[in-house]
């Protein structure tokens, strides 16, 4: 069953993560996002993009830890080792997230529920983040599994909240409720329950009505100002992520989480 649906309305396209397994991102999700975002990037009729979750109360809960555990076991069996001095090349997820940041069209996250780990890293790729009130959390809890945010989180979070606060959040693996996320600057607006998509669509329509060349140039310049040196940081991040993923401690923690069906925040 497809995991990603795209609906166009005028100059705005809405990408909905419709059916991720238990709300988790996995390889199939990434592949469908890759195809969908590449198509939207090429479509000159689309001037703004909204991304939201299709599972009630879930944007994307986080990346599938079952898939990460399986990958770790497979690579360990093959004797794969990581040398931090030799950064890994970009992966499919890096290409997708990079496209969202680099396309000249504004991208807005309509966060309608849990957005942790890779789900929150997806939101961080978007230019604007609208979150609705509700009993869910956002953040990067990967350290609890003995790994780290490996899809841009360590490089993008400091740009939002500063190095000191980013360290506090990532070292503790602390996730926060929507009001604190707004206060910290993790999201731009907090709206009533059920209103995230509507508000994101309103903003997307506003941006789509503006001169597209000017919007694209502004996005490019502002992104470039914040991304100086980021390429090297992202390369090191994904390298050290794999180094941790292959460790005994991470494998034990992921296995325990998956075996006991724990929440990632309690891993």
Task: For residue range 159-181, list pLDDT tens digits in order.
Answer: 999 999 999 999 999 999 999 99
What's the CATH number where 130 sits? 3.90.226.10
Backbone angles phi, psi at 232, to 5 degrees: -65, -40
Count of beta carbons in the 10 Å neighbourhood of residue 217: 12
Collapsed DSSP state (helix, strand, coil) of residue 49: strand
| Domain range for 104 | 4-266
Q: Which residues are catalytic?
A: 121, 142
Q: Which of 56-65, 137-146, 254-263 has the lowest mean pLDDT?
A: 254-263
Question: What pLDDT score does 227 carry?
Answer: 66
Give residue 241's pLDDT.
84
Q: Is the pLDDT of residue 183 over 70?
A: yes
Q: Report the pLDDT averaged over residues 29-51.
A: 97
pLDDT at 40: 97
Query: 89: closest CA among 244, 231, 243?
Result: 231
Residue 33's pLDDT band (cuts 50, 70, 90) = very high
Q: How many CB atoms lie within 10 A of CB 124?
A: 25
Distance of alpha carbon 153 from alpha carbon 2, whole angstroms: 27
| Residue 228: per-residue pLDDT | 61
| Burial category of 182 from C-beta neighbours within 10 Å (exposed 0-12, middle 13-18, buried 19 and up) | middle
**How many domains, in total, are found in the chain?**
1
pTM above 0.85, yes or no: yes
> What per-residue confidence (pLDDT) applies to 166?
97
């Amino acid at each position: 069953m497809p995991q990603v649906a795209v609906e166009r309305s005028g100059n705005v396209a809405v990408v909905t993560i419709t059916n991720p397994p238990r709300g988790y991102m996995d390889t199939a999700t990434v592949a469908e996002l890759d195809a969908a975002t590449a198509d939207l990037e090429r479509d000159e009729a689309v001037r703004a993009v909204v991304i939201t979750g299709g599972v009630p109360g879930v944007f994307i809960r986080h990346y599938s830890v079952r898939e990460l555990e399986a990958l770790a076991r497979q690579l360990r069996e093959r004797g794969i080792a990581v040398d931090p001095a030799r950064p890994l090349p970009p992966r499919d997820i890096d290409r997708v997230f990079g496209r969202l940041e680099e396309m000249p069209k504004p991208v807005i996250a309509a966060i309608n529920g849990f957005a942790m780990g890779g789900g929150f890293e997806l939101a961080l790729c978007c230019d604007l983040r609208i979150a609705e009130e509700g009993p869910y959390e956002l953040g990067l809890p990967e350290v609890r599994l003995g790994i780290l945010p490996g899809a841009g989180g360590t490089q993008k979070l400091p740009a939002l909240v500063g190095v000191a606060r980013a360290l506090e959040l990532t070292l503790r693996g602390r996730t926060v409720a929507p009001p604190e996320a707004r206060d910290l600057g993790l999201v731009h607006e907090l709206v009533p329950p059920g209103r995230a998509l509507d508000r994101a669509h309103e903003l997307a329509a506003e941006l789509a009505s503006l001169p597209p060349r000017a919007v694209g140039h502004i996005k490019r310049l502002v992104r470039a100002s914040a991304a100086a040196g980021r390429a090297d940081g992202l390369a090191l991040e994904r390298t050290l992520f794999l180094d941790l993923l292959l460790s005994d401690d991470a494998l034990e923690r992921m296995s325990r989480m998956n075996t006991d069906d724990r929440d990632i925040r309690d891993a």
